[in-house]
Amino acid sequence: MSKMVTIYGGSGFVGRYIARRMAVEGWRVRVAVRRPNEAMFVKTYGVVGQVEPILCNIRDDASVAAAMQGAEAVVNCVGVLNELGKNEFDSVQAQGAERIARLATENAVPRMVHISAIGADADANSEYSRTKAQGEAGVLEHFPDAVILRPSVIFGNEDQFFNRFAAMARMGPFLPLVGAETRFQPVYVDDVAWAAVKGVLGEADAGVYELGGPEVKTFRALMQQMLDVIHRRRVVVGMPFWAARIMAGVLDIVKFVSFQLFPNNILTRDQVRNLRRDNIISNNAKGFDDLGIEPAALDSILPEYLWKYRPSGQYDDIQNSAKNMRT
């Protein structure tokens, strides 16, 4: 019988790519999610019955333990960029990660891969970064042989980075940025998935790997590259941090006084604190080279999914060519 892997958050941005790759490897894949009815698309990643979404609440011991029964490996992809309801940074990224590792050890699961993030730091001002570090500590306490992956900002078809700002670029002549000079090292989502699969297959040594793409660029430079891809001219405006703090504070207050009826999906104070720090791999950290993976460059991927934000969508290049012929 084929081996089985349980992927917590397996229908999310990174998780779905890991699920697809594990199905190709011939494994049975159990996708543990809060809303399995909304994750039925993962069933198409393999043959009938190979990939199955199941109900799981990462905040509950019994639910997490049931999801990993019979698994040869577990992968934790659960994380939140913005707190909403009971999905708080601490309960999901710190306690949730620790819970999966503890129960995996109790159930004698041979391997574990944990998706963290570059910038994870127990002393960080950002609660996001701080709870990521706490999650790593909890994983290593209970599962010291785990493979921990720390990607920089992840890009790909379903990302919330380039897609978000490309959509904003359609709305006006200005593109405002907080932390315009902060440096990032974007990494392609399928490269992160490949690294996770190597961890599941035992092809990666235990430890922490920082994953960044081949290019280090400022936030401003990345947005200019994105604008070039979508064929739009916009003035990229760097917003001062003091102004960003005021804006984020007002939005957070609205969220609080409305009892989250109006969630803050625009800019939070925690995100402003995070944007003050470069998001690049550190010196001497293990990374893609140690995994035998050559990461994809931005310019080889961005046009594949950002074309829909061009003035004429998929026909933009054809129209531009026709204009050149007329002149």
Distance from C-alpha of 92 to C-alpha of 84, rounded to nearest angstrom: 11
Element (H, E) at 22: helix 13-24
Q: Which residues, listed in sequence order, are joined to residue 29 by a DSSP beta bridge?
A: 5, 51
Distance from C-alpha of 196 to C-alpha of 5, rounded to nearest angstrom: 12
Q: Is residue 269 part of a domain?
A: no
Give the domain range for residue 110: 4-155+186-214+279-295
Confidence at residue 316, expressed as pLDDT on a 0 to 100 scale: 75
Confidence at residue 312, expressed as pLDDT on a 0 to 100 scale: 87
pLDDT in tens, 38-91: 999 999 999 999 999 999 999 999 999 999 999 999 999 999 999 988 889 999
- The number of folded domains in the chain is 1
Q: Is residue 85 part of a domain?
A: yes
pLDDT in tens, 270-315: 999 999 999 999 999 999 999 999 999 999 999 999 999 999 888 7
Q: Which tokens hold the place of 84?
A: 């909403």
Residue 87: CATH number of its domain? 3.40.50.720
Contact between 223 and 175 (Cβ < 8 Å)? yes
Residue 232: HSE in the Cβ half-sphere, 13 Å Cα cutoff: 26
Q: Is residue 13 part of a domain?
A: yes
Q: Is residue 196 part of a domain?
A: yes
pLDDT in tens, 12-39: 999 999 999 999 999 999 999 999 999 9
The pTM of the full predicted model, rounded to 2 decimals, is: 0.95
Q: Is residue 92 part of a domain?
A: yes
Q: Is residue 170 part of a domain?
A: no
